[in-house]
């Protein structure tokens, strides 16, 4: 009976044992110092051993003498009887470790039984907000600290001292207390060190089976336990088989350690596993040291490095293994579980990203084949792009980008199979080459969702623009979807979309990285010139989505009534695409792509014209049947469409591009060659025009400018220029204009001699072209000096020009492009004071104003206008003659001449007739005339400045009357706009010029803002009030000028 009674009593004691008793016993064993770490770390060997003996004796006395821990003693004895490991030893450190392990096992058993007996009552529905009852096995924060201290002692005394060099972190490298422990441990005493290590690891794993205790064990000590299990299960034994008496661990125990290690690795948080395995795998190789006390951390042994590599590869190939590896490395670098305070520093560390990329791109040895490995991890790599955690998003995306680029570089064939197709799947699905299932061809069906398209564009942006490495496999994969991407870009320009900038950056990056011919081909596809370029499926369309994005759907069926509308939409869409292409190319000028495409369009236009003429003359219509005739007409229509499209492209490019469209000599030469070739073709077709002549003159002038010293030419540049020699010879032979013939011949001579000889006509053409570009004569003096040096005629140029001017053929037979002296010597006029021009110079410019060459005439008119503005005495003496010249050129059909003529400033003299004319026009019955007269009145008043004074009251009265009484809204708008222009033009002078009527104008503007029904007129009035407010503020509160006056006293 005794045995059953004892068993019953023992089980009852276990059930009745409280957590507080076990934790109090642990606290007594670990004293002094509460947690036992801070005070023990500063003790020496003998003091530490004495403390261990004292605490063990106190615990035994408490169990034997007192009645308070009777139940705990029964529980400890029960647990000790079941234990199969030695609990006492001559080494006091192991005895201390064994007692600590026993108490921890008692704690685990008690917590399990308390949780099993816990039966919480039903919650009261009236007090639903009350917190649920805690389980009795829950540990408080102070109790958790006691348990953590006990676990730390167990690991420090029972695991770390028995690890061989290179396995784990040595105790000496950790803390001062660890160094003391390493010295007090007696490894020669029983039990054997391997047995101690095996016991400690097995008992800790047993304790960790409880969820609450397991988190405390693995959170702090996972790495040490993993190191111990690796050593127990995988450390090679001696080659000679040990005898049963010499064998410390059996093969079964070693196999059990290996299984325990793998089970633990599968259960613990995977990033933690990865981080600890990387630590175990190795640090840098240190110099070996014979002194044990000064032993540094050794390099991990080869078997451990191989084992950790194999285990890491297994972690990587598990589900979500890529994410675990990335988190393990980044969090171990200081990012923390959720980013931590060093998250930004880690995100900026590209070296770690490169390290992760190398790890992920290296195929493990145990993998069957590289293809199976990449097939497994590539989807996980793409998932890294889509993390939305703000703290870890940047790190994951950078790792994903770097890994993507690394894989594409090292394994392009596998990247093209497993990485790029998933990224571009949304775009491939809607291409014209895609086979869309019949079930998806229902009108209105969403082919690509908003989320899919957003993810596709964002991923391509991260890989291309952020990664910024133009790998061939990447460019080849993106090339087929460029047309679809451009169509999406055009759609985003119709409204606000966050995808617009992404699409633009992607297109600019790809076009800049592609080979130039491939880029030109892509641009042809964008413009619709190349139908072979893959594009959006004809049945697909972009549509705005509900959450602000874009989706791709199947078009609605079009009935016959909507065919005209569909045709209009098609034409307008093509027009907008050309304009968007021009906007896109405006960002490609520095790389030279815009210039190359412009030259291509010029050549394409010439090519289409030649093809069209050849097809028309090929065969008469009477000799072919109806089917052939229809096919021929279709081809002609397509050819005309191509020609119109090219013309439209050229018009848009000319409008959107700046003067820096050409970035090198080769592009300029190609442009000139295309112009010359087109001129020769037009001459052969007898289709010469004024525009063609001007274009040809400009192109040849560009060559003259380059040869004249505007560009420092090298020998290689002359090799490029020699491509123009056959075309220049052809122009000199067949062009009807003798001036252009002579210039073409002279250019051939200059190019052939590499600039050693240059005639006067080349210099004149160069200066004429420069004058068109800079009509105000702001060409730098250094450029002129360089021009004179390269032409070799600097000293005799002025004399030759004067002799040419005095030639008897200067009358009506004069037909060469005249350049006045200020064109040839741009610094001689603009730098001179008033009265510096001579009668001969004035006469020359007056003759040039009647020159048949339009650029020469316009340049002369602008020169006369400039002289008048500078108040040149010689010009003012003949102002009647100048006015007649300007009036005659106002009727010229060319806008270049017309605009040059209207810049003569003669309003001061003809103020009175102009003012009265415009005031009378303001009362005309026709509202259009009234509005026009008021607009002219505004321009006139703006130019008169202080000359407006005598008539300011008349003008003001007219404006007030019109603004308040006129029935036509356009006229009222014009009246208010006159005030805006007047205030804006006069600026700070308004307080002087308009001082008598400023108050009346202010009242009028306030009246319009309050009572005018037209919003545009109100806007004009508000703008005028703002101008007036700025003027008065500056008048009343002038800006402070920090000036210091120095007065010299007599």
Type and span of the H or E element at 657: none
Question: What SS3 state is found at 448?
Answer: strand
Per-residue pLDDT band at 1038 (split at 50, 70, 90): confident
Residue closest to 172 by CA, chosen among 293, 346, 47: 293
CB atoms within 10 A of CB 505: 16
- The Cα–Cα gap between 159 and 163 comes to 7
Residue 242 has pLDDT above 80, yes or no: no
Task: Out of 327-336, 561-570, 1023-1032, give the one with best mean pLDDT.
Answer: 1023-1032
Which residues, other chains included, contact 504 with Cβ-Cβ below 8 Å and sequence gap of 6+? 489, 584, 587
Tokens coding 237: 């034994």
pLDDT (average), residues 389-407: 85
State percent of the chain over pLDDT 90.
21
Residues 6+ apart with CB under 8 A from 640: 612
Per-residue pLDDT, 296? 52
Instruction: Tell me: pLDDT of 788 over 60.
Output: no
Range with the lowest mean pLDDT among 333-347, 486-500, 532-546?
333-347
- Distance in angstroms (rounded) separating the CA atoms of residues 848 and 861: 8
Average pLDDT over residues 504-532: 91
Mean of pLDDT over the chain: 78
Do the Cβ atoms of 217 and 151 come closer than 8 Å?
Answer: yes
Tell me what pLDDT residue 5 has: 31
> 764, 708, 702, 710: which is closest to 728 by C-alpha?
702
The arithmetic mean of pLDDT across residues 53-65, rounded, is 86
Q: What does the radius of gyration of the chain's CA atoms come to, in whole angstroms?
A: 46
Residue 812 confidence (pLDDT) above 60: no
Backbone angles phi, psi at 551, to 5 degrees: -130, 165
The torsion of the CA quartet 753, 759, 762, 768, rounded to 10 degrees, works out to 160
pLDDT score of 789: 34
Q: Give the model's confidence band at 434: pLDDT under 50 very low, under 70 low, under 90 confident, else very high.
A: confident
- Taking each helix axis from N to C terminus, what angle separates 998-1011 and 952-965, rounded to the nearest 10 degrees? 10
Least confident stretch, 915-924, 940-949, 988-997: 940-949
Q: Which residue has the higher pLDDT, 746 or 820?
A: 746
Instruction: Provide the pLDDT for residue 67.
Output: 66
pLDDT at 480 over 70: yes
Residue 253 pLDDT > 50? yes
Residue 42's pLDDT band (boundaries 50, 70, 90)? very low
Q: Where are the alpha helices (DSSP H) in 528-619?
A: 563-585, 593-618
pLDDT in tens, 276-321: 998 898 754 444 444 444 445 678 889 998 999 889 888 888 888 8
Instruction: Give pLDDT, residue 780.
Output: 39
Length of the chain: 1050
Which of helix, strand or coil describes residue 564?
helix
- Say what the pLDDT of residue 491 is: 92
What's the average model confidence in pLDDT over 135-150?
A: 90
User: Would you call 145 exposed, middle or buried from its count of C-beta atoms within 10 A (0-12, 13-18, 19+)?
Assistant: middle
Q: What is the pLDDT of residues 876-932, one digit of tens each?
A: 888 778 877 877 777 666 555 555 555 575 566 677 788 888 888 888 888 888 888
Top pLDDT among 367 and 1042 is at 367
What's the rounded mean pLDDT across residues 481-501?
A: 91
- Give residue 653's pLDDT: 85
Those residues whose C-beta lies under 8 Å from the C-beta of residue 801, and which sit 6 or more positions away, are: 760, 821, 824
Two structure tokens written together for 736: 């009807």
CA torsion through residues 757, 760, 766, 770, sign: positive
Query: Taking residues 1033-1047, what's their average pLDDT?
Result: 71
Q: Determine the average pLDDT of the residues in 3-31.
A: 63
CB 420 within 8 A of CB 477: yes
Residues 196 and 94: beta-carbon distance below 8 Å = yes
Q: pLDDT band for position 329 (50/70/90)?
A: confident
Q: Is the pLDDT of residue 806 over 70?
A: no
Run of H or E residues at 541: strand 540-544
- The pLDDT of residue 730: 86
Position 908 scores a pLDDT of 66
The pLDDT tens digits of the residues spanning 146-199 come to 999 999 999 999 999 999 988 988 888 887 777 888 888 888 888 889 999 999
pLDDT exceeds cutoff 80 at 966: yes
DSSP assignment letter at 1: -
Q: Indicate if the pLDDT at residue 604 is higher than 70.
A: yes
Instruction: Give pLDDT, residue 9.
Output: 35
DSSP result, 840-866: HHHHHHHHHTT-SSHHHHHHHHHHHHH
């Amino acid at each position: 009976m005794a045995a059953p009674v004892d068993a019953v009593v023992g089980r009852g004691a276990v059930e009745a044992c409280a957590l507080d008793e076990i934790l109090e016993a642990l606290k007594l064993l670990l004293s002094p110092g509460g947690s036992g770490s801070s005070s023990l770390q500063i003790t020496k060997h003998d003091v530490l051993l004495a403390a261990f003996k004292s605490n063990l004796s106190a615990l035994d006395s408490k169990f034997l003498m007192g009645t308070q821990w009777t139940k705990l003693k029964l529980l400890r004895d029960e647990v000790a009887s079941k234990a199969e490991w030695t609990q006492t030893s001559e080494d006091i450190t192991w005895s201390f470790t064994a007692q600590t392990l026993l108490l921890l096992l008692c704690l685990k058993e008690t917590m399990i039984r308390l949780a099993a007996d816990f039966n919480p009552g039903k919650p009261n529905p009236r007090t639903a907000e009350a917190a649920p009852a805690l389980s009795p096995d829950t540990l408080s924060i102070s109790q958790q600290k006691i348990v953590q201290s006990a676990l730390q002692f167990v690991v420090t005394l029972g695991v770390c001292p028995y690890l061989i060099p290179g396995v784990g972190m040595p105790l000496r490298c950790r803390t001062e207390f660890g160094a003391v422990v390493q010295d007090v441990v007696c490894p020669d005493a029983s039990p054997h060190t391997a047995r101690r290590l095996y016991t400690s690891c097995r008992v800790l794993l047993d304790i960790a089976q409880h969820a609450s205790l397991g988190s405390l064990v693995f959170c702090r000590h996972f790495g040490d336990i993993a190191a111990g299990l690796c050593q127990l299960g995988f450390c090679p034994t001696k080659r000679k088989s040990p005898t049963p008496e010499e064998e410390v661990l059996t093969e079964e125990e070693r196999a059990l350690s290996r299984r325990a290690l793998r089970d633990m690795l599968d259960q613990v948080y995977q990033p933690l596993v990865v981080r600890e395995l990387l630590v175990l795998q190795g640090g840098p190789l240190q110099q070996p040291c014979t002194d044990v006390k000064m032993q540094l951390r050794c390099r991990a042994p080869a078997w451990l490095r191989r084992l950790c590599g194999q285990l890491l590869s297994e972690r990587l190939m598990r589900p979500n293994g890529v994410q675990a590896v990335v988190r393990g490395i980044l969090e171990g670098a200081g990012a923390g579980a959720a980013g931590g305070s060093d998250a930004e520093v880690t995100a900026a560390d590209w070296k770690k990203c490169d390290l992760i990329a190398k790890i992920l791109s290296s195929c493990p040895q145990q993998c069957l084949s590289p293809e199976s490995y990449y097939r497994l991890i590539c989807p996980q790599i793409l998932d890294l792009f889509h993390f939305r955690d703000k703290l870890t998003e940047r790190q994951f995306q950078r790792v994903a980008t770097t890994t993507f680029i690394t894989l594409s570089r090292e394994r392009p064939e596998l990247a093209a199979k497993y990485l790029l197709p998933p990224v571009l799947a949304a775009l491939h699905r809607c291409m014209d080459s895609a086979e869309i299932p019949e079930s998806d061809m229902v009108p209105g069906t969403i082919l690509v969702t908003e989320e899919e398209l957003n993810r596709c564009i964002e991923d391509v942006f991260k890989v291309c623009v952020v990664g910024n490495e133009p790998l061939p496999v990447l460019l080849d994969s993106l090339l087929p979807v460029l047309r679809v991407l451009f169509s999406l870009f055009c759609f985003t320009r119709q409204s606000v979309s966050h995808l617009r900038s992404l699409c633009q950056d992607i297109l600019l990056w790809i076009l800049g990285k592609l080979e130039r011919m491939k880029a030109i081909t892509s641009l042809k596809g964008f413009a619709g010139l190349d139908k072979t370029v893959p594009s959006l499926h004809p049945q697909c369309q972009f549509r705005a989505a509900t959450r602000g994005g874009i989706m791709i759907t199947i078009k609605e069926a079009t009935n016959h009534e909507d065919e005209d509308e569909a045709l209009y939409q098609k034409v307008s869409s093509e027009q907008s695409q050309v304009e968007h292409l021009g906007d896109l190319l405006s960002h490609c000028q520095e790389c030279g792509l815009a210039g190359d495409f412009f030259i291509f369009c010029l050549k394409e236009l010439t090519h289409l014209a030649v093809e069209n003429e050849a097809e028309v003359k090929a065969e008469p219509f009477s000799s072919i049947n109806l089917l052939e005739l229809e096919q021929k007409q279709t081809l002609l229509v397509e050819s005309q469409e191509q020609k119109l499209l090219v013309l439209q492209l050229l018009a848009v490019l000319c409008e959107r591009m700046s003067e820096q469209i050409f970035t090198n000599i080769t592009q300029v030469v190609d442009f000139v060659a295309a112009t010359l070739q087109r001129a020769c073709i037009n001459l052969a077709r007898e289709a010469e025009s004024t525009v063609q002549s001007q274009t040809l003159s400009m192109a040849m002038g560009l060559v003259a400018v380059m040869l004249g010293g505007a560009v420092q030419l090298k020998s290689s540049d002359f090799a490029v220029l020699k491509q123009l020699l056959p075309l220049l010879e052809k122009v000199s032979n067949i062009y009807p204009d003798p001036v252009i013939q002579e210039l073409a011949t002279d250019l051939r001579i200059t190019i052939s001699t590499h600039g050693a000889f240059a005639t006067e006509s080349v210099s004149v053409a160069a200066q004429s072209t420069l004058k068109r570009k800079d009509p105000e004569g702001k060409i730098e003096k250094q450029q002129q000096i360089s021009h004179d040096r390269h032409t070799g005629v600097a000293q005799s140029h002025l004399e030759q020009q004067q002799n040419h001017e005095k030639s008897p053929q200067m009358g009506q037979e004069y037909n060469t492009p005249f350049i006045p002296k200020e064109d040839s010597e741009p610094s001689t006029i603009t730098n001179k004071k008033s009265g510096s021009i001579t009668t001969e110079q004035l006469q020359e410019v007056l003759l040039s104003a009647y020159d048949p060459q339009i650029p020469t005439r316009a340049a002369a008119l602008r020169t006369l206008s400039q002289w008048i503005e500078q108040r040149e005495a010689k010009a003012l003496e003949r102002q009647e003659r100048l006015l007649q010249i300007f009036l005659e050129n106002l009727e010229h059909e060319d806008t270049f001449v017309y605009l040059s003529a209207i810049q003569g400033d003669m309003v001061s003299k003809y103020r009175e007739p102009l003012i009265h004319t415009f005031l009378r026009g303001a009362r005309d019955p026709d509202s259009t005339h009234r509005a026009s007269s008021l607009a002219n009145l505004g321009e006139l008043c703006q130019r008169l400045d202080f000359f407006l004074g005598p008539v300011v009251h008349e003008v003001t009265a007219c404006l007030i009357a019109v603004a308040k009484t006129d029935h036509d809204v356009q006229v009222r708008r014009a009246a208010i706009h006159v005030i805006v222009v007047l205030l804006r033009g006069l600026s700070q002078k308004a307080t002087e010029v308009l001082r008598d009527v400023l108050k009346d104008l202010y009242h009028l503007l306030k009246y319009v803002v309050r009572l005018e029904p037209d919003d545009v007129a109100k806007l004009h009035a508000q703008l005028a009030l703002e101008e007036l407010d700025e003027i008065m503020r500056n008048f009343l509160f002038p800006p402070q000028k920090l000036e210091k006056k120095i007065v010299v006293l007599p």
